[in-house]
Amino acid sequence: MKPHFQSMRGLRAVSLAALAATSLSVGTAAQAAPVTLTYSDWHLAEPVWNRSLREAFAEFERLNPDIKVNPEAVALGQRDVRYSTALRAGRGPDVFSLDVNPVKQFIQQGWVMDLSRFVEREGGGKWLADFYPRTLEVVGDGKRTYGIPKTLVPMVLYYNSNMLKEAGIAQPPRTWTEFRDDARKLTKASKPGGPIDQWGTTIVMAPAGFDLRFSVILRGFGGDMLTPDNKHSALNTPVAKEAFNFVLDMILVDKTMTPGISQVDAHGARQHLATRRVGMAFESAWAHPIIADLNPALDAWNVLKISPVPQKEGAKGGIRSTLHLKSLFINPKTANPEAAWKLVKFLTDPERMQRWYVDNNLLSARKSVNATFDRIQKNANARLMAQELEYAAFMPLIPEWPEINEAFRQNLQAAVAGTKSREQALGDAHSQIEAILARAAR
């Protein structure tokens, strides 16, 4: 029996050694295998942003050799549907970016991770103190933080300085009356006797980006879509009516906005600017690099200039524009939350924020970067943008906002198309928004 016993012991020893070796090799393999994070962003579809982001990922991977980033582009118009469908199914990218519009919906539905524990580890309120408090309202609920703000810019008036000069316009419009007059002067045939091929302005009427553009006109007139408490529609106010009619007059009476206005999306509006089809448009800082890329012959960096959103005669100060914020979020079902947080922290650190300005012309959601980065301080456009942050506000931060925005957009389109009278369209928008808010309150 002894030999058998000895052989059993030997077998056990060999087995243990093999097990230990296997465990070690598995452990080593686990340490060596890099974590792959998927990062999704609509800006990856823009060549300028794509380049900039990929350079940042390369730097991140150099600093974190155990993490790989797999970038995934998504079309802006399809972004929210793609994310919500994937996240609902427990899938989707590990890290993704959103603008303000859907954030409250995503928080309400539990489609973004609560980042409070990571934030606490970095220093909590002290770490967050560098971000503009308004941006933290977007990504949090007062107690928890669900996203980290990245870039922050206000909407402004972009104008082609050459086209204004050619039309005999000495300076950009400061009031809505001047804006309308200038648009008339800019609307003409570029070739004598030819058809009209140049218009004063355009406005985005496709769903993605509509609220950013229309809201500046509404706010520039002193109105807003909702009451300050976000409980009721504010479309029954005289200023809202004035702004609504102003846009319709420019489209239908003056015909100083581009034909086919109902189909113009954010990219289309920038293409109109890039190809000199329009002389003015409401855009923000992202437009310069994108338009320069679309049409290098335009010399966009020198020819396109910016100016504050016009206001009513005599108006001083007050909210006249809308803020655009891009923030980063983590999928609550990610298998690699630590790695995902590392990426979010990296993409929103002060050094990267400076890079977003240099590459993409966007201001930072960090106060310190805008206040101290010399390239921002020395650039007149950037200084104007920073100054306009004071006169801009976010669209209402409520989950119902996308539906409210869409109800208004459809009625505006109906008024443009003539299927509803102006009064009926504005009245319908008002009552539909009231109904949406009432349903939400139940």
Partner 1 sequence: MRAVAASGVTGETRTGYALVAPAFAMLVLVLGLPALSAVLQSFNLVMSRTPGFSLASYERLVTDPEFRQTIANTVVYVSGVVAIHLALGLSVALLLNADIRGKWFFRVVALLPWTVPDVIGGIIWRFMFDALPGMVNAVVIRGGLADAPVDWLGDPQLAFAALVLAEGWRGYPFIMLILLAGLQSIPRTLYEAAAMDGARAWQSFLYVTLPNLKNMFIIALVLDVIWECRLFGMVFGMTAGGPGNATQVLSVMTYRQYFEFFNTSYASAAAVVLAVFMLAISIPYLRMSMRVTA
Reduced to 3 states, what is the DSSP secondary structure of residue 428? helix
Question: How many other β-carbons are positioned within 10 Å of the β-carbon of residue 110?
Answer: 12
| Closer residue to partner 1 in complex, CB, 211/388 | 211
> Which amino acid belongs to residue 282?
F
Torsion of CA 110, 113, 116, 117, to 10 degrees: 130
SS3 42: helix
DSSP H or E stretch at residue 148: strand 147-154
User: In whole angstroms, how close is the CB of 406 to partner 1 at the nearest point?
Assistant: 7
Please identify, among the stretches 171-179, 229-237, 260-268, 306-314, the one whose residues bind partner 1 according to the rule CB under 8 A.
Answer: 260-268
CB 147 within 8 A of CB 327: yes
* Least spacing, CB of residue 85 vs partner 1, in Å: 7
Q: Which of 178, 254, 406, 434 binds partner 1 (CB under 8 A)?
A: 406
Nearer of residues 23 and 109 to partner 1, judged by Cβ = 109
- When the beta carbons of 12 and 88 are compared against partner 1, the nearer one is 88
Burial 207-227 (b: 16+ CB within 10 A, else e): ebbbbbbbbbbbbbbbbbbbe
Q: Measure the N-to-C terminal CA separation of the chain; round to a whole number of Å.
A: 82
| 164-172 contacts at long range (C-beta below 8 A, 24 or more positions apart) | 164/279, 164/280, 167/279, 172/280, 172/305, 172/307
Binding mask 197-236 for partner 1 (x = CB under 8 A): ---------xx-----------------------------
Per CB under 8 A, the segment of 156-164, 167-175, 253-261, 349-357 that binds partner 1 is 253-261
Q: How far out from the chain centre does Cα 407 lie?
A: 21
| 414 lies in the site for partner 1, by CB under 8 A | yes
User: DSSP 3-state assignment of 250?
Assistant: helix
Mask for 103-132, x = binds partner 1 (CB under 8 A): --x---x-----------------------
Cα–Cα dist 53/58, whole Å:
9
Of 77 and 337, which has the nearer Cβ to partner 1?
Answer: 77
Q: How far is the CB of 261 from partner 1 (least distance, A)?
A: 6
Tell me whether residue 379 or residue 410 sits nearer to partner 1 (CB atom). 410
Binder of partner 1 out of 262, 307, 379, 381 (CB under 8 A) = 262
Task: Figure out which of the listed residues 352, 420, 422, 430 binds partner 1, where binding follows CB under 8 A.
Answer: 420
Q: Which of 190, 263, 377, 424 binds partner 1 (CB under 8 A)?
A: 263
Q: Which of residues 265-284 bind partner 1 (CB under 8 A)?
A: 272, 277
Q: Does 152 bind partner 1 (CB under 8 A)?
A: no
259 contacts partner 1 (rule: CB under 8 A) = yes
Cα separation, 231 vs 428, whole angstroms: 17
Residue ranges in 66-95 that form contacts with partner 1 under rule CB under 8 A: 80-81, 84-85
Strand partners, 68: 36
The CA-based angle 211-213-217, given to 5 degrees, is 105
Sheet holding 156-160, edge to edge: 199-201, 278-283, 156-160, 304-307
Segment lying near partner 1 (by CB under 8 A), choices 126-134, 155-163, 211-219, 396-404: 396-404
Q: How far apart are CA 277 and CA 196, in angstroms?
A: 10
Binding-residue total with partner 1 (CB under 8 A): 31
State the Cα angle at 319 between 315 and 325, rounded to 5°: 150
Q: How far is the CB of 214 from partner 1 (least distance, A)?
A: 15
**Closer residue to partner 1, CB minimum distance, 245 or 410:** 410
The residues, any chain, with a CB within 8 Å of residue 106's CB and separated by 6 or more, are: 83, 84, 87, 98, 112, 146, 329
Helix axes 287-294, 266-274, angle to 10 degrees: 60
Give the residue with the Cβ less far from partner 1, 270 or 420. 420
257 vs 285 by CB, closer to partner 1: 257
Q: Report the residue number, 156 or 429, with the smaller CB distance to partner 1.
A: 429
Binding status of residue 7 toward partner 1 by CB under 8 A: no
Q: Is 46 left (phi over 0), alpha (psi -120 to 50) or beta?
A: beta
Q: Which of 109, 51, 120, 58 is nearest to 84 (CA)?
A: 109
Nearer of residues 35 and 86 to partner 1, judged by Cβ = 86
Should residue 379 be labelled a site residue for partner 1 when binding is judged by CB under 8 A?
Answer: no
Q: Which segment (90-98, 240-248, 379-387, 410-418) binds partner 1 by CB under 8 A?
A: 410-418
Residues that bind partner 1 (CB under 8 A): 80-81, 84-85, 105, 109, 195-196, 206-207, 258-263, 272, 277, 399, 402-403, 406, 410-411, 413-414, 416-420
